[in-house]
Structure 1
Amino acid sequence: MTAAVRLPELPDRYNAAETFIDAHRGVRDSAVAIRCQGTGVTYGEVAANVDRSGNALRELGVGMEERVVVMCLDSPAFVYAFFGAIKIGAVPVPTNTLLVPHDLRYVLADSRAVAIVVSAPLLPKVLEIRKDLPRLRHVIVSGGDAPPEALSLEGLLAAASDELSPAETTPDDACFWLYSSGTTGFPKGAVHLQHDMIYCCETYGASVLATTERDRHFTVSPLFHAYGLGNGVFFPFRVGASTVYKPERATPDLVYGLITTERPTILFTAPTFYAALLAYPEQDFRYDLSSLRMCVSAGEALPKPLFESWRKRFGLEILDGIGATEMLHIFISNVSGRSRAGTSGTPVPGYRAKIMDDDGNDLGPGATGNLWVSGDSCAAYYWNKHQKSKAAFKGEWYVTGDKYHLDPDGYYTYEGRSDDMLKVSGQWVSPAEVEAALMEHPAVLECGVVGAKDKDELTKPRAFVILKNGRPPSPELAEELKEFVKGRITPYKYPRWIEFVDELPKTATGKIQRFKLREMKV
């Protein structure tokens, strides 16, 4: 259960761009909204360019409810395209910038997009598949010269009017789509409504982040993902705060450097990147993190040793939580002052959660089962996937597909994906539990656990392990890790095979793609 939360009443005619863009006109015109590559963009400039973007799209014939794929690196152009489309009643579809052409073709075809706004370095992917997409009328390139078959976003903005009235949408109209991250195969398009972003702001944004106009957000997780979209766009834009963007690939040096120079107050990333930051040699450390008041983690469960190592080194807690593309952002979270390491925390005010068995019975505290969540930021449905929608959305409840344990104090602990759980020796085994045990070993940097068949065709845990720098793999170390796990969790859960690898297959947001681990040949 959760505490009640007071939400603003929205009028019958409501467009999300009014809340996040227009509300700052004449109030914070000169305040910096975005810092990107050493340059500041004010709220006044953002508002003008959003209106220009909307007018340009409308001049190109983009109509209400038509989809506009936004495949931009983290930059002001993302915001202009995203809110420009929303303001004219079109539906932006933020899209993974790491997609290969085959997967991008799927998103463009499935969404029936009529236009795509794409960063110049990514344009070749689009041009390679454009001939296969008869509905795609316009390719708009940002941050570089446009070839004859494309249009320049900067050119369109320069020619367009900076005055635009919002379309007459309602709170329950489609606002934008987000495609799931694809941990189990082809992604699904989750349809989010005009009221979803403000709901997240008045729940997680207000009660956990408590962001004010004096804050500066820095999200390492990209804007095309639900987690990054909240961190870097709608949470700061709700209150007139500023946000730091980095179009470059994240590295520890880059992120530490931006924290030092841009002075953000809240850092958002995933456990995998916190581990990479911690792996930075202390003797070479020359950065200043004193501006940070809060660190946030999501995307996968934060291991307890990682939480403790970060706090010991930097004196900051990492607030772990669980969110979902379908729920738009985090709905269960730890809170400053009452974090419990190794858990995802308690339900965010405005959300309800419960633990259910496979027959749909509420198991209550002390149980492990399927996590269901309810809150008004939930997607309306999956586009063009009726059967999957029926399986995932049960009235007001979303079936997350995660296994969780609920303790008597109301804290939720991640046990793994429902379809990742392993039946070993007649007992259920959580891959996350085995991974957490392995992560406690000083030689292990990252790991992923899946099921594999032994010679008798029985399922046993198999671990893929990335070692920390300087530790060579060996059969002796593999046996050491097996014994190490036996000493920390119930012995039958230990991994029967240890495979040393250089990298793990992941989504763009750091989630391990277990289906690819299962397919790996070692």
Structure 2
Amino acid sequence: MTHTDCKTSGTDTAGWSGATPDFAPSAHLDSFPRENLPPREQWPELLFDLEDYRYPTRLNCAVEFLDRNVEKGRGDHPALITPEETLTYRQLQDRVDRICNVLTRDLGMVPGNRVMLRSANNAWMTATYLAVLKAGGVVVATMPLLRAKELGQMLDKAQITHALCDVKLREEMELAAAKAPCLKHLVYWGNGDLESRCAAQPEGFTACDTAADDVCLIGFTSGTTGLPKGTMHFHRDMLAICDGYSRHILRPTPEDRFIGSAPLAFTFGLGGLVLFPFRVGATGILLEKAGPDELLPAIEKYRATICFTAPTAYRVMAQKVDQFDISSLRKCVSAGETLPKAIFETWEKATGLRLMDGIGGTEMLHIFIAAPQESVRPGYTGIPVPGYQAKIMDDQGNEVPRGTPGWLAIRGPIGCRYLADPRQANYVRHGWNIPGDVYIQEEDGFFRYQGRGDDMIVAAGYNIAGPEVEGALLTHPAVRECGVVGVPDGKGGMLVKAYVALKGDYLPGDHLVKELQEHVKAEIAPYKYPRVIEFLEALPRTESGKLQRFALRKLAGQ
């Protein structure tokens, strides 16, 4: 399908007036990405003190992730393993080059055009992703479960001109495309269209000569209210997360095999399943369905060595791990939401492996606070990744004393740059990125998570962190998962309320409410216990596995 008209162009998005940046000359013929960066004075301070983050002025990250492995003699090494196919680096390179030719020859894509990608995790999704980067386009990857309304918001805000989509996701894509005047070309794979177009193309493609600071990715946040925010990342950013967190904290080798549950549209999944392995010439294992019941047999079958998934998945897998041979696993990364100490201990007891916690975000692309495996401390997120700085500040931007809760502030080689969005000023303050997380920094420098700013509950004059209460509840044998929010007490104040999903052998009732309340009182300060407990079959979660506390607050009538 083809649209020929587009009602918006240039810098019209949201009435935005972008920066006049002092960048290297861009390779983008479509200037929309640079024109819609936030004004330079609204950027956080960027740090390039570490040699690892100093890149050449001209850089195409797809060349570094893919072509460089072939050049170094790893062309026959498996790049991707999926249930449907295994591709070596050379085979993947050929597919990527042919898709580049389809994009530029058949579909008229020029550097700087935005390309929407829609698929579950598979080899074609990875190949299209790398092809857009190599051809100088800007990737806008989308979660498979998004609906037409959400897709339409992204199509409009990023003025997306091209889309490549797995035919299994055709229905919502078609509905969104019908209302997207900027979208000129939509091609599917899985029905033979993109495949036949690729077969008709010649081998080889010369990568676009992009600048290191050309935008290559617009990652939309899974915001809970209002329009989604598009985070803009450069070619050098894609390498920086590998040369920072992966190199210094994860420390993979070319023989590692990465597996995980997060969609590639979620930057946690992109890094953990594609960028980190490809940076060192290792292997990514991609599963279209990767819940706990699928991950365990896949770890056994494909001999995975490094796993990326959410805390809830580790908790579920711990109960079944003795049914599978997961002896190949050597490192397990937990992110996406806070890692309760109870889940850490449950996983370690079941496997002997210590979970590596971390906090990152779409705005910062990936993890910026973590700890190497040998320095992991249960209940703590860790310390800043080398090349990053972090502190805890108050509302005025002043650093608070160690041991005092406040706003986490972070800066490093990557920083928040929203696409034409006045909310930039909310995220970047005083030159620092402020993700909205409340933390405590201990005297020895370790950071301990307290909760999101809107997860803090003020009850009877006390500040109570919802995640801390959740962590206490999870140590009770009856609790499968839980979420804690503040609810009005009818007197102008707030109460702590817990939503609890039970394990199969337990039944809800007043007796269990009392038992859970007493258990929390014994685990943490008694004033923090949940005054109200409601039992649910399951808790609301995002596609990336995060607990949707806003949905619980809505359920509570807030």
Q: TM range, normalised to the smaller chain?
A: over 0.9
Distance (whole Å) between structure 2 residues aligned to residue 4 and residue 207 of structure 1? 15
Match of 1:374 in 2: 411
**Tell me, which stretches of 5 or more residues in structure 1 are unaligned?**
146-151
Q: Report what 1:148 is aligned to.
A: none
Q: What is residue 85 of structure 2 aligned with on the other side?
A: 39
| Structure-1 residue corresponding to 2:68 | 23
Match of 2:505 in 1: 470
Of 133-142 and 295-304, deviating more is 133-142
SS at match of 1:73: coil
Q: Shift of residue 466 of structure 1? A: 0.8
Q: Residue 230 of structure 2 aligns to which amino acid in structure 1?
A: G
Distance 1:34-1:476 versus aligned 2 partners, 3 A rule: same
**Which residue of the partner structure matches residue 484 of structure 2?**
449
Does the alignment pair 1:237 with 2:283?
Answer: no
Where do 1:414-433 residues align within 5 Å?
A: 414-433=449-468
- Among the aligned pairs, what percent are the same residue? 39
1:518 and 2:536 equivalent? no
Match status 1:138 vs 2:161: no
Q: Does 1:48 align with 2:85?
A: no
Task: Report if aligned partners of 2:82, 2:285 keep a CA contact under 8 Å in 1.
Answer: yes
Task: Tell me which residue corresponds to 2:269.
Answer: 228
- List per-residue Cα deviations over 1:307-355 (Å, max 9, x = no partner): 1111111111110111111111111112111210011011111111110
* Residues in 2 aligned to 1:155 and 1:473: alpha-carbon distance in whole angstroms: 56
Q: CA deviation at 1:184?
A: 4.5
The TM-score, its normalising length taken from structure 2, stands at: 0.88
Task: Pick the aligned partner of 1:269 from 309, 315, 318.
Answer: 309
- Judging changes above 3 Å, is the alpha-carbon distance between structure 1 residues 422 and 326 closer, same or farther for their aligned structure 2 residues? same
Question: Matched residues in 1 for 2:340 and 2:148: separation?
Answer: 34
Say which of 411, 418, 424 aligns to 1:389: 424
The residue aligned with 2:133 is 86
What is the aligned partner in structure 2 of residue 149 from structure 1?
none
In the alignment, the residues of structure 1 paired with residue 225 and residue 500 of structure 2 have an alpha-carbon distance, to the nearest angstrom, of 21
| Match status 1:12 vs 2:48 | no
Q: What's the counterpart of residue 110 of structure 1?
A: 157
| 1:413-469 Cα deviation digits (max 9, x unpaired) | 110111221111122111111111111111111111111111213111111111111
Q: Do the aligned partners of residues 130 and 45 (structure 1) sit closer, same or farther apart at CA in structure 2, a change above 3 Å counting?
A: same
C-alpha root-mean-square deviation of aligned residues, in Å? 1.8
CA distance in 2, matches of 1:8, 1:378: 13
SS class of match (1:25): helix
User: 1:30 offset after TM fit, Å?
Assistant: 1.0
**C-alpha separation between the residues in 1 aligned to 2:429 and 2:68?**
35
Distance 2:227 2:318 in 1: 33
User: Could you tell me whether the CA contact under 8 Å between 1:183 and 1:511 is conserved in 2?
Assistant: no
Distance 1:494 1:185, change over 3 A: farther
Aligned match of 1:279: 319
Q: Deviations over 1:172-205 (max 9, x none)?
A: 1101111112245542110001100111111111
Q: Secondary structure at the match of 2:473?
A: helix
Give the distance between the partners of 1:470 and 1:3, measured in 2 at CA.
Answer: 54
Contact 1:3–1:349 (8 Å) recurs in 2? no
Alignment of 1:67-78 (within 5 A): 67-78=114-125
Match of 1:334 among 350, 371, 383: 371
Instruction: Return 5+ residue gaps in structure 2 as ranges.
Output: 1-46
CA gap of 1:67–1:109, structure 2 versus 1, over 3 A, is same
Rounded to whole Å, the distance in 2 between the matches of 1:317 and 1:184 is: 35
Q: Write the deviation string for residues 285-307 of structure 1: whole angstroms up to 9, x where unpaired.
A: 43101101111100111111111
1:124 CA drift (Å): 0.8
The answer to whether residue 243 in structure 2 is matched with residue 198 in structure 1 is: no
Note the alpha carbon deviations across 1:147-183, whole angstroms, 9 max, x for none: xxxxx22122112233211212111110111111224
Distance 1:102 1:3 in 2: 39
Aligned residue-pair number: 509
| Secondary structure, aligned partner of 2:136 | coil
What letter corresponds to residue 117 of structure 1 in structure 2? L
Q: Does 1:259 align with 2:292?
A: no
One-letter code aligned to 1:272: T
- Stretches of 4+ aligned residues off by more than 4 angstroms: none
Secondary structure of 1:21's match? helix
Query: How far does residue 38 in structure 1 lie from its aligned partner after superposition?
Result: 5.4
Q: Point out the more displaced range, 289-298 or 415-424.
A: 415-424
8 Å Cα contact 2:304/2:328 also seen in 1:
yes
Shift of the alpha carbon at 1:267? Answer: 0.8
